[in-house]
Amino acid sequence: MTGEVETTALGPMDVRRVMAALPHRYPMLLIDRVVSLVPNQSIHAIKAVSVNEPFFQGHFPTRPIMPGVLIVEAMAQAAGVLAVESMQLADTGKLVYFMSIDGAKFRSPVEPGCLLDLHVEVTQNRGAICKFSGKAMLGDKLAAEAQFVAMISDPPKD
């Protein structure tokens, strides 16, 4: 995410455009759409949490709650879309790898039927390595937050 800073918001983006930016597919694709994206700055994405999610079979059968690690993964996927769209790398095969997670906090359970609003901002940009700050919201209620670092790279060679 180098070069001139562009402040024109993009969006909305449907799931097809999300899939052009990310290699993830069911059951690991955790972004359903992008509400808005400001290249090199921020993204607002949505995860519609359905009772049919495979993780609810075991987490927990009598009180289904989305695992916190998957909430952080959803924020990271939103950051991946932000990075790929900012660098115009969609459909290039480039991958966005998690490098670290810091300060993860979980404030409210995410249950079936929720719309999880994912808000992610770039906090530092060093070309292929970027730092992000993310919040997962349920309406105006904070569900989770974390800071994380990701790297853009070519896929591994076979």
Which residue numbers are catalytic?
59
Q: Which two tokens stand for residue 132?
A: 């992000």
Rounded to 5 degrees, what are φ and ψ at 54?
-60, -30
For residue 6, which of 87, 62, 64 has the smallest C-alpha distance?
87
- Exposure string over 107-119, b if 16+ CB within 10 A, otherwise e: eeebeeebebbbb
Sign of the four-CA dihedral 94, 144, 116, 40: negative
Rounded to whole angstroms, how far apart are CA atoms 66 and 84? 26
Q: How far is CA 82 from CA 22, 77, 119, in A?
A: 10, 9, 11
